[in-house]
């Protein structure tokens, strides 16, 4: 009986000791888990932005590959002009930036082709406590030299765009001087447009004439408006 009582006392006493040892082990493991969480929270996230223009027959895949090789964990793809400000994916990315994050782009002009918009974007990135990195130009906005280089490159991009616009306008003026007009070619020839006016004068409906020439009714309406403007200009 004494041996059984002794064993019972030992077993009863050993349980609190085991529970205390387990609690100690958990306490020792807890700082390690917290350190891991702090490391993960402190490590900046590289968020990649890839863009191609709608007019360009291109794909964002090469940009995504370069951003992925640089360590980006999330990507935002867009098919829109770099001169436009209303780009949904870009603004979604800017809204989700957190302190310590880095917005990465393959080239500076992928972010924006407008110096004004570029400065606004970088200002939003800075206010979010994040940074910007351009892979091709090797620019990092977290440094003073990187910020200076971005402003210089943005100025060059704006200057190049202005030069292209001036050359385009000069070409259009030259074409007009030679009797050529730019833009989309009219769907109906001048002779067909005259026939349209004749049919309308004879009482044919706009819908019938549109079906006959296989055009939209809006095209017939524009022809009528153009002839009305010409007639008004000829009237003294």
Q: Which is more confidently placed, 33 or 46?
A: 46
- Tens-digit pLDDT profile for residues 1-36: 444 444 444 444 455 555 555 554 444 444 455 554
- In this predicted model, what pLDDT tens digit does every residue of 176-204 receive, in sequence order? 787 776 667 778 888 888 898 899 888 88
- Give dist(CA 72, CA 49) in Å, integer: 9
pTM, rounded to two decimals: 0.49
HSE, CB side, 13 Å, CA atoms: give it for residue 39. 6
Residues 108 and 200 in one domain: no
Reading the block at residue 102, the tokens are: 């880095």
Q: What is the pLDDT averaged over residues 112-121?
A: 82
Q: What pLDDT was estimated at residue 145?
A: 82
Domain span at 224: 190-234
Is 208 a member of any domain? yes
In a domain, 3, yes or no: no
The 10s digit of each residue's pLDDT in 58-72 is 889 999 999 999 999
Catalytic status, residue 141: no
Regarding whether 70 and 142 lie in a shared domain, the answer is yes
Task: With cut-offs at 50, 70 and 90, classify the pLDDT of residue 47.
Answer: very high
* Domain end marker among 141, 161, 181: 161
- Asked, for residue 144, whether it belongs to a domain, the answer is yes
- Which of 43, 53, 81, 181 is an active site residue? 53
Confidence of residue 233 (pLDDT cuts 50, 70, 90): low
pLDDT of residue 182: 62
Rg (alpha carbons) of the chain, rounded to whole number: 35
Residues 93 and 150 in one domain: yes
Across 97-123, average pLDDT: 87
Q: What is the pLDDT of residue 54?
A: 79
Q: Report the CATH number that the domain containing residue 195 is assigned in CATH.
A: 1.10.10
Mean pLDDT of the chain: 78
* CATH code (residue 103): 3.40.50.1390
pLDDT of residue 36: 46
The tokens of 42 are what? 């402190």
HSE-CB of 194 using CA atoms within 13 angstroms: 3
CB neighbour list of residue 77: distance below 8 Å, 6 or more residues apart: 50, 51, 60, 64, 89
- Which among 95, 104, 112, 108 has a CA at the least distance from the CA of 53? 112
Percentage of the chain lying above the pLDDT 70 cut = 75
Assign 79 to helix, strand or coil: strand
Q: How confident is the model at residue 99 (pLDDT cuts 50, 70, 90)?
A: very high
Q: Please indicate, yes or no, whether residues 215 and 157 belong to a single structural domain of this protein.
A: no
| Residue 91: pLDDT over 90 | yes
Report CA dihedral (6, 10, 12, 17) to the nearest 10 degrees.
Answer: 160
Same domain, 156 and 87: yes
Please report, rounded to a whole number, the percentage of residues in the chain having pLDDT higher than 90: 22
Residues 146 and 198 in one domain: no
Question: pLDDT class for 226, splitting at 50, 70, 90?
Answer: confident
- Residue 39 is predicted with a pLDDT of 44
DSSP conformational letter for 78: E
* Residue 123 forms part of a structural domain: yes
Q: Tell me: pLDDT of 231 over 60.
A: yes
The answer to the question of residue 28 being in a domain is no
Tell me if 217 is assigned to some domain.
yes
- Say if residue 145 is in the same domain as residue 217: no
Q: How far is CA 103 from CA 66, 84, 150, in A?
A: 14, 19, 14
């Amino acid at each position: 009986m004494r041996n059984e009582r002794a064993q019972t006392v030992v077993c009863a006493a050993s349980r609190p000791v085991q529970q205390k040892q387990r609690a100690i082990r958990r306490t020792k493991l807890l700082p390690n888990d917290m350190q891991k969480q702090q490391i993960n929270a402190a490590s900046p996230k590289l968020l990649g932005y890839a863009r191609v223009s709608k007019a360009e027959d291109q794909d964002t895949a090469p940009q995504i590959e370069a951003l992925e090789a640089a360590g980006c964990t999330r990507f935002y793809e867009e098919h829109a002009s770099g001169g436009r400000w209303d780009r949904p994916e870009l603004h979604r990315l800017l809204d989700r930036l957190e302190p310590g994050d880095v917005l990465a782009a393959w080239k500076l002009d992928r972010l924006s082709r407008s110096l004004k918009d570029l400065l606004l974007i970088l200002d939003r990135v800075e206010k979010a406590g994040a940074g910007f990195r351009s892979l091709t130009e090797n620019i990092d906005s977290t440094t003073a030299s990187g910020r200076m280089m971005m402003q210089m490159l943005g100025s060059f991009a704006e200057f190049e765009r202005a030069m292209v616009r001036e050359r385009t306008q000069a070409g259009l003026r030259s074409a007009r001087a030679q009797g050529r007009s730019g833009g989309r070619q009219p769907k109906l020839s001048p002779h067909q447009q005259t026939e349209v006016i004749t049919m309308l004068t004879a009482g044919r409906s706009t819908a019938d004439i549109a079906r006959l020439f296989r055009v939209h009714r809006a095209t017939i309406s524009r022809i009528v408006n153009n002839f009305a403007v010409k007639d008004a200009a000829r009237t003294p």
